[in-house]
Amino acid sequence: MSIYATHWEIKLPRSHAFDTDWVTVFAQAVPAHIGHPSAYPDGDPYASFLPPVVKEYDPDTGEAPWHRAVVILMEGKDEKVVQEYATPLLVLSGEEYSRIPFDDLLSAIKKRMPWDENVVAMTIGQDGKQRIIRVDGWQDRETKSRNRDSEVE
């Protein structure tokens, strides 16, 4: 039995921001009772890979202000070793997840996607053919340029 429940899923470009091939990214929520001392008197077997238990969980009512955790995964990179995901994009506490604005969450997910970071643009010719424009090392050059600019100021 899994400790996770699918919370939502979205489609994002697979290899770079301009990709027309899409991959599913999804959130797996871990309920607040998982690992809680009331349900696990011998200790929390998930403490090594999940955020701490939700102390505000009420075992009498089953109520909690948030999930224990929300794990964000990408289709094809969602392998588990027993109950631990091997390569999650993000692991958030339920409280963190409940407070993060969606735009910030989406930005954090995109930063962790295994994208080709050297893709800077895509053009579509008159014949409809797409051309990807890659600039190897552009980020390093941009960082060096910014560092030089800040030294001058």
Q: Could you give the C-alpha distances from 9 to 6, 52, 146, in angstroms and in order?
A: 8, 25, 37
Among candidate residues 64, 80, 70, the one with its CA nearest the CA of residue 28: 70
The two tokens of residue 115 are 């994208």
Three-state SS at 120: strand
Residues of the chain with pLDDT > 70: what percent?
97
Q: Is 96 exposed, middle or buried (0-12, 13-18, 19+ CB in 10 A)?
A: middle
Instruction: Give pTM, 2 decimals.
Output: 0.80
Amino acid at 152: V
Q: How confident is the model at residue 119 (pLDDT cuts 50, 70, 90)?
A: confident
Amino acid at 80: K
Residue extents of the structural domains in the chain: 5-115, 117-153
Contact indicator for 97, 67 with CB cutoff of 8 Å = yes
**Phi and psi angles of residue 72, each rounded to the nearest 5 degrees, phi first:** -100, 130
Digit-coded pLDDT (tens) for 32-88: 999 999 989 999 999 999 999 999 999 999 999 999 999 999 999 999 999 999 999
Residue 10 β-bridge partners: 25
pLDDT at residue 146, rounded to an integer: 73
